[in-house]
Chain A
Amino acid sequence: GQSLEQPSEVTAVEGAIVQINCTYQTSGFYGLSWYQQHDGGAPTFLSYNALDGLEETGRFSSFLSRSDSYGYLLLQELQMKDSASYFCAVISGNTPLVFGKGTRLSVIA
């Protein structure tokens, strides 16, 4: 089967950098995605990694190491609006995404 592990909660200070880790176990791994969800809202797509390395999109970056079955989401220059839940999701073959249970990020002043 497939499984993902990510921390349940992370707290960071406004303006700082935070890293949210995700480890996964799956067969036929194709890629890792990240989604953001604000309280009361719907999940929205943030990033996708199919190859090893770092992908940068503005203040957000996502990293993948296929050999370690590990990835992370890096948020820089944290803002209060970044307080949300973040989900990693694996893509394997032609099957639907499997989501982790999510990491709740709290940004404090």
Chain B
Amino acid sequence: DAGITQSPRHKVTETGTPVTLRCHQTENHRYMYWYRQDPGHGLRLIHYSYGVKDTDKGEVSDGYSVSRSKTEDFLLTLESATSSQTSVYFCAISSGRAGDTQYFGPGTRLTVL
């Protein structure tokens, strides 16, 4: 299995609080991605990174920001969490190209009350 970890694995928070999710890889892959998965919507891309300090928006980026200061770490921040951001968040990595095979982390289940 690709070396990808996510932390925390579960989190419950209240509306209006900031939340940061961390993705850590040991594969030295160039690309890293954040997805959210909700019933009936499949996997939707939030943001992705194509290198240190290089990021771009995905399909559902509103309300989220990201940072990548090191190759191995990709952080997803909810500046002010809302109940609509209750979801399962997956991090993924790929090498080479943005369309290359992606390897997913175990996921973080976030509940915003």
Contacts and interface: CB of A to CB of B under 8 A. Distances in A.
A65 to B, nearest CB: 19
Given A43-B43, A87-B42, A96 B107 contact: no
Interface stretch (A12-20, A53-61, A69-77, A99-107): A99-107
Contact of B101 (A30, A33, A92, A96): A33
B41 A101 contact: yes
Contacts of B90: 42-43
Interface residues of A, number: 22
B74 interface: no
Interface in A24-72: 30-31, 33, 41-45, 48
Interface of B: 31, 33, 40-45, 48, 58, 90, 92, 97-99, 101-107
Interface of A: 30-31, 33, 41-45, 48, 87, 91-102
